[in-house]
Amino acid sequence: MNIKELNQRNSHLIIREVTEQSFREYGKIVSGYDFSEMLDYMERETAVPEGGNIYKASVPELEAFSVFEQLSKGFYGEMPIQAGYCNGPNSTLNGLEYHIGSEIDVAVTDLVLLLGKLQDVANDQYPVEKVTAFFVPKGTALQLYETTLHFAPCKTDAGGFKCIVILPRGTNEPLENDKAKYGDKLLFARNKWLLAHPERKPLMEKGAWPGIIGNNIEVNI
């Protein structure tokens, strides 16, 4: 489904193009790197699960491609990084997270990202009316700044979505200590701070902070 059709079916949202000026507040399009081998692998070797999203933080096959080393050295300034993916049938906001360090997302299929700004979090809460939706065409690579709130993409058709996710090494792994030790309500995993929508039971059961205020946004297809 293209962006015009999505906007026609989602009167509660304005879905924007990532080429618009407004996206520059959240990130930028990544150019100068060839993601074709990663994209081919994702199309051939990964599936969209029916029961819910799947996230793999580090996939050795993706990290074996030459672009991975190029990104580690050139884009991340010789920092250790990881390459994985998130695939699924998701169509709702559910949560918003951020990391220390930029995230690169590469759209294997068309998808929609629901984004916010860390600067708008107040008293550990974030209002859904500040979320902005962006349509990301298949094959597009994006840098999301570390102040950009984000979570799993939303599908644009019944087949679900696939997305490559590149982050600083160790991000999203379990914490070594109980997060209560750090006194930070939003800290959820290693290098992962999360505000959950209180209706998202799986996140609440894992101890996520119910910091999203308002209706759980859904992208209709």
Cross-strand partners of 133: 15, 114
Q: 160 lies in a domain?
A: yes
Q: How deeply is 104 buried, as exposed, middle or buried, from its count of CB atoms within 10 A (0-12, 13-18, 19+)?
A: buried
Q: 185 lies in a domain?
A: no
Query: 109-141: per-residue pLDDT in tens?
Result: 999 999 999 999 999 999 999 999 999 999 999
Domain holding 91, by residue range, is 3-174
- The Cα–Cα gap between 79 and 33 comes to 17
pLDDT score at 72 = 98
pLDDT score at 218 = 98
Quote the number of domains for the chain.
1
Query: 200-213: per-residue pLDDT in tens?
Result: 999 999 999 999 99
Q: 215 lies in a domain?
A: no
Q: How deeply is 1 buried, as exposed, middle or buried, from its count of CB atoms within 10 A (0-12, 13-18, 19+)?
A: middle
Q: 192 lies in a domain?
A: no
Q: 197 lies in a domain?
A: no
Structure tokens at 209: 């902070």
Q: Which of 96, 112, 99 is nearest to 216 (CA)?
A: 96
CATH number at 134 reads 2.60.120.10
Q: 193 lies in a domain?
A: no
Structure tokens at 54: 């799947």
Place of tokens 């997305």: 163
Q: Whole-number mean pLDDT of the chain?
A: 97
Is residue 51 scored above 90 in pLDDT? Answer: no
- The Cα–Cα gap between 8 and 5 comes to 5
